[in-house]
Amino acid sequence: MKLSSIRSRLGRAANTAMLSNVARSVRRDRLTYLSPAKLLRIERALDTTLRPDVPGDIVEFGVALGGSAILLAKRAIPPRRFFGLDVFAMIPPPTSDKDDSRSKQRYQDILEGSSSGIGGDVYYGYRDDLYEYVSRQLSRYGTPVDGVRVNLVKGLFEESWPTLEISSLAFAHIDCDWYDPVKYCLNAAAPRLSRGGLIVMDDYHDYAGCKAAVDEFLIANPGFEMLDGVNPVLRHRRS
């Protein structure tokens, strides 16, 4: 075995060991595509953000199978609420010229039915009961979708987000791959993010469209800074 492979396995094992029991459980249950390193970064970001002096709700744009939604919903202690937004179906295609060939090939693979799920499961986008499935998982983990503390919102982000009564956000997780939805989600969440609030970006190092949207956002919004990593964190600077 190559030394790089050994180091990679040791790194994954170390990150897994530092995860919460819930995070390890959602991975065992094949409810998240996120690596242990990404889940650990989300949990640490939550620990530094969800304090009394950082008010607001928790939102996730792109729920997939619900693994990270479970982590976030667990931290939605009243008066905080959790909102998980997703089409709960086949994801829309990348349509911007800022989306690279890798993004478009990835979508083509999904469209042709050749994408595989976690551990041989059916790819989540092919399920016709995805909303119900995610709801069941949230309930199984003790965070049922009650429309008050825990909310799942079905539809395109640009259609569902304006209908929500959210005055402030403490934390947002953006996991929607392509340029246009990432750009929309950043511009939707940022004005409501409390001072000290955080936005975690899942696909910055994976897809060029996501990276372009984030880079443009940071140029246009100097009140934010990026803490790089496997899933970069955008922080609203305190005044």
| pLDDT score for 236 | 79
Instruction: Quick: pLDDT tens for 214-237.
Output: 999 999 999 999 999 999 999 977
Question: Judging by beta carbons within 10 Å of its beta carbon (0-12, 13-18, 19+), is residue 123 exposed, middle or buried?
Answer: middle
> What token pair was written down for 74?
């667990």
| pLDDT score for 10 | 36
| pLDDT score for 7 | 40
Instruction: Quick: pLDDT tens for 12-55.
Output: 556 788 999 999 999 999 999 999 999 999 999 999 999 999 99
Number of H helices, E strands in the chain: 9, 7
DSSP state of 81: -
> What token pair was written down for 18?
């530092």
| pLDDT score for 77 | 96
CA 4: distance to chain centroid? 28
pTM above 0.75, yes or no: yes
Instruction: Quick: pLDDT tens for 43-59.
Output: 999 999 999 999 999 99
- Which residue type is seen at 177? D
Phi, psi of 74 (to 5 degrees): -60, -30
| pLDDT score for 45 | 97
Instruction: Quick: pLDDT tens for 95-138.
Output: 999 999 999 999 999 999 999 999 999 999 999 999 999 999 99
The pLDDT of residue 2 is above 60: no
| pLDDT score for 17 | 86
By residue count, the chain amounts to 239
How many other C-beta atoms lie within 10 A of the C-beta of residue 48?
A: 13
CA atoms within 13 A on the CB side of 35: 15
Helix (H, G, I), strand (E, B) or coil at 120: helix
The pLDDT of residue 67 is above 80: yes
Give the residue with greater pLDDT, 9 vs 138: 138
Of all residues in the chain, the percent with pLDDT exceeding 90 is 90
Give the integer Cα–Cα distance in Å for 172 and 201.
9
Q: What is the mean pLDDT of the chain?
A: 93
* Residues contacting 59, CB < 8 A, separation 6+: 82, 83, 84, 85, 166, 169, 171, 172, 173, 189
The pLDDT of residue 8 is above 80: no
**Average pLDDT, stretch 147-157?**
98
Helix (H, G, I), strand (E, B) or coil at 124: helix
**Average pLDDT, stretch 163-169?**
97
Give the integer Cα–Cα distance in Å for 213 and 102.
16
